[in-house]
Structure formats: structure tokens, C-alpha cells
Structure 1
């Protein structure tokens, strides 16, 4: 099973286990790039895509801070307008964002969405923490396999700079449902902010998302 499919299934299982009619989406951040990695429903996925494209929202802020965040859609949070508009359009009234560490500079988070107002049921937050940890374990394992796999390592290291960047741009476009120029700008900005080449940032994306899935792309990365 590819990583992208596993994270989709992880989001589906999380929503089913958490119950209470919730929906879930998983985001991954690495090298300052946010991508939607898996979702239990298209609606939850669209919310995370809007958040990733704006580079701000509960899931991204939770990963940046390393803390669990809860929010009600009725409470306007400055900077979250794009995510909030998407969540309201889907009929959600509140969300819970739970981050988990993958490794240095890389985190995942699970966004839990609900159309029912009121306090989160007892035990739901703890269960969401557990599912976020499972998603982080899956990404960590993928990176370890990429490190150990000579065939995989040899493949991405012998790819030309152009081919690597094109693969990464395609992954960003597919994950966040954004146009090519926006995906290229995301890659370029992430490289500039960290003093890295576009090849270095693109290689991280290809290594984690593309080669791990035999050409399949998944969604969300870290800052």
C-alpha cells in the first residue's frame, strides 16, 4: 500500500473510530510546504486544501506550535479566512487540530471536523492524538525506507534538477488542487526561506511523496 493510500485510510479509520459524525483530514508539513495528505471525505479534504494554499489555519498553526487547537467557526480567527470560508461552505461548525512529530522540521496533523456544536465528547481528543501519532509513524517509516533503499535513493539522486522539480510541482498541484504557477511559487518560497536550492526542497517532496508511491502523489508538508 502506498503512503498516500495509507493516510487516506488512516483518516477514514480515525473518523469512524472517533464517531459522532465527524470527518477527518491529515496534513503533512516539511520544508515550509503544507500538503493535504489524506481525508475521510472530499469535504474535509477541500478544507485542508484551502488551508494549505493559504498556509494558515488550525491544522497548520497546530503543527507550527506543536499543540492541540480547537476552534468554532462562529469565532473569527484573523488569517484563517480562507480555511474558515471552506469549512463553513461544507457545513462544519467546529474543528479540532492535533499535531504529531515526524522528525526534525517535519510534522503531521489530523483535522477533525464536526457539524454538531457543543463540547467535544470525552475521550475524542485523546483518540485523535493516537491517530495523529499513527500517521506520523507511517511518514517516519516511509522516510526510513527511502534512506535504506538503494534503488529508490539512486533513482531520485540521478534525476535531473528539472525532472525533480517537475515531480514536486506535480505533487503540490495534485495535493492542494492549485494551479502550476502557485505550486512553483510555493516551492520557490520554501527554498528561499531556508537558503536551500529548489532541487533540495523538491527532492524532499519526491522522496517522501512520489517515489514512495510509485508515482502516486499525496498531499501536505511541513515548515
Structure 2
């Protein structure tokens, strides 16, 4: 019996994270690998969509095809289906046949109208700050056998580790970018304060108060006022400090 988690899946997911820091591109790649893995396991084509939710951010949806994304959005809009319930219950949930399964009647009718006969929702463990679920779709009923569901759960476990790493990397890169932006803003403000100190022979605190007062009167951010001061003095568009990574 072949292992549920294949070496080529591990390698492909690893290369996916090392090749890009774009979360949407990583999600797109994961759905493609998931579709391929489940298609091989089921012996018939299976599409996959992935929904990622993070605190204070809108949900990100990716899919192995446009149709997979459409079917996933239908479930999100209806607020019912195996994908959503799988997230709540923390385990795979199956809609085996839209013609006979009465668990999610409205969603079953919507799937049938799009030519989809069965669906499988598989949650992914991403920790406390994020959650994600894989949503698999088939044009035939009965394809999601216990063995195929086990394959989907094993892939979700592996892909969950990949996504956790990708989210951590993205978070660190965003913090780094925010820090650089803050340092650049502080540099411009310090330069403007220095210019005011030289012109008015005042302290740095007094110079900064003048900038903040101008900011309040103009209803502009302090950084914008400081940039305007530097531009008037030098004829250049403010300071553009460079920070090494």
C-alpha cells in the first residue's frame, strides 16, 4: 500500500514556499497539488478550493480552477455546506451525493445546478490566529471513498504545515517593511527638525512642536509636513533613506 503522504508532495510544497512570499500564489499552488493528489487517489478529476481566514483580514480564496472558486463562494454566500461545518467541527465532512444527501439542501441544489455531484470539506490546522479549509468537488457521486478522504486529510495536514510557515514568513516580512517605513518617516522628521533648529536657533523639542503645529493647522500628517520642509530647502522630494536587509 502506498503512503498517504508522498515525497513528491512534500518537495513540491517546500519549493512552493521557498519560491514565493505571495500568500495568494502559495494558496493557488496548494489547491493545484491537492487537486492532483485527490484526482490520482479517486481515479477521476477532482477540483479543489482553499479558503484562508486571518484576524483583521478579509478571507482569501484560491482554487485549482475558476469553477472551484465559484463553488466555494456559493457556499460562503449561503452560509452552509461541508466546508464551513468542517471548520467548526475540526474534521472532514462529506456531501456524498447532492441528489440524496439532505445535510445542506440549499447548497446541494446550487452544486447540482453547476454540474457538481459531491463535495468534501477538510479543515487545516493553522494555529490560533488563522484558519483554513480545503473544499474538494467532483462531478460524480461516490468518489470520496474512505481511502480518498484519508488521502485528503493527510494532504491537508502536510499543507497546513506549509501554510503555517508561509504565514510566519509573510508576517516577518511585513513587520520588517513596517519598521523600515517607520524609520524612514522618523529620518525625514529629524532632518526637518534639524533644519528648523538651524534656522531658528531653537531646541529639537521646540522644532518638533513647530512641525506638529503646522501639521494640525494644515490637517496633514507630520511626515508630510516634514517632507515639504525638506523639499523647499533642498529642491529634492524629501529624504529617501536606504536600509540594508
TM-score when normalising by structure 2: 0.55
Backbone CA RMSD of aligned residues: 2.8
Q: Which residue of 2 aligns with 1:144?
A: 168
Structure 1 gap segments, 5+ residues each: 159-223
Mapped to 1, the partners of 2:34 and 2:163 lie a distance apart of 16
- 1:47-82 deviations in Å (ceiling 9; x for gaps): 11122233332111101110110013122335x62x
Are 1:56 and 2:80 an aligned pair? yes
Count, aligned residues? 156
C-alpha separation between the residues in 2 aligned to 1:54 and 1:30?
Answer: 21
- Over residues 113-162 of structure 1, what are the superposed CA-to-partner deviations in whole Å (9 max), with x where a residue is unaligned? 1111225245311221132224322331233224433323447999xxxx
Following superposition, which runs of at least 4 residues in structure 1 exceed 6 angstroms of deviation? 155-158
Alpha-carbon distance between aligned partners in 2 of 1:61 and 1:77, rounded to the nearest angstrom: 11
- Unmatched 5+ residue regions in structure 2? 1-19, 184-245
Q: Deviations over 1:22-50 (max 9, x none)?
A: 11111123449873522111111101112
Q: Which residue of the other structure, out of 39, 45, 53, is the alignment partner of 2:69?
A: 45
Q: Point out which structure has higher relative CO (alpha carbons under 8 A, 6+ apart).
A: 1
* Aligned-partner SS, 1:138: helix
> Residues of 1 paired with 2:56 and 2:90: CA distance?
15
Q: Secondary structure at the match of 1:131?
A: helix
Q: Say which one has the larger Rg.
A: 2
